[in-house]
Amino acid sequence: MTSQLPLFIEGEVIKGFGRGSKDLGCPTANFSLDVVKSLPNGTQPGVYYGWAQIDSGSVHKMVANIGWCPFYNNKEMSIETHVMHKFDTDFYGSNLKICIVGYLRGEKNFKSLEDLIEAIQQDIKNADEELDHEDARNLKTNSFWNRVQ
């Protein structure tokens, strides 16, 4: 997968399981299964960092989980994006564009919800640092963000 990065993805934000914000204190915007199925073959499940844009808004840092979420034992693979920005409202139905820049870690299971929450906080910190590097920063001004869908 790493050789295929960066990866540009876009699609509508749909309803997920409603777990992100409730259990984890960290909302994750979900793509439809169609978008998930359009991922390149051999995409590694795991946690990625990159950039995200809602409709034609600003480009923000993000962390995304691609996979089955072993902690929740999901049946279908999903792409869940946590945008590292505080929004005043939900944005279900909006167009979400993401640029997946790099890989942070593989998916793994956790003994408790606390451990999972701690790992997510660490992922956000790592993503924040990685995205300050020049190669990652350059993708924030890619023409992808200006393209009308």
Catalytically annotated residues? 80
16 touching Mg ion, by CB under 5 A: yes
Expressed in percent and rounded to 5, the helix, strand and coil fractions of the chain are 30, 30, 40
| Minimum separation from the CB atom of position 25 to ligand ADP (A) | 10
| Tokens read off for 101 | 């820049």
Burial of 140 (0-12, 13-18, 19+ CB in 10 A): middle
Q: Which does 90 bind (CB under 5 to 8 A by kind): ligand ADP, Mg ion, none?
A: ligand ADP
Quote the CA–CA distance of 29 and 96 in Å, as a whole number. Answer: 8
Residue 143 is which amino acid?
S
Chain position whose Cβ is nearest to ligand ADP: 20
- Considering only 13, 30, 64, 145, the residue that binds Mg ion (CB under 5 A) is 30
Task: Return the sign of the alpha-carbon dihedral for residues 116, 121, 127, 129.
Answer: negative
Site residues (CB under 6 A) for ligand ADP, limited to 33-92: 82-83, 85, 87, 90-92
- Considering only 15, 37, 75, 111, the residue that binds ligand ADP (CB under 6 A) is 15
Binding positions for ligand ADP, rule: CB under 6 A:
13, 15-22, 27-30, 82-83, 85, 87, 90-92
Binding positions for Mg ion, rule: CB under 5 A:
16, 20, 28, 30
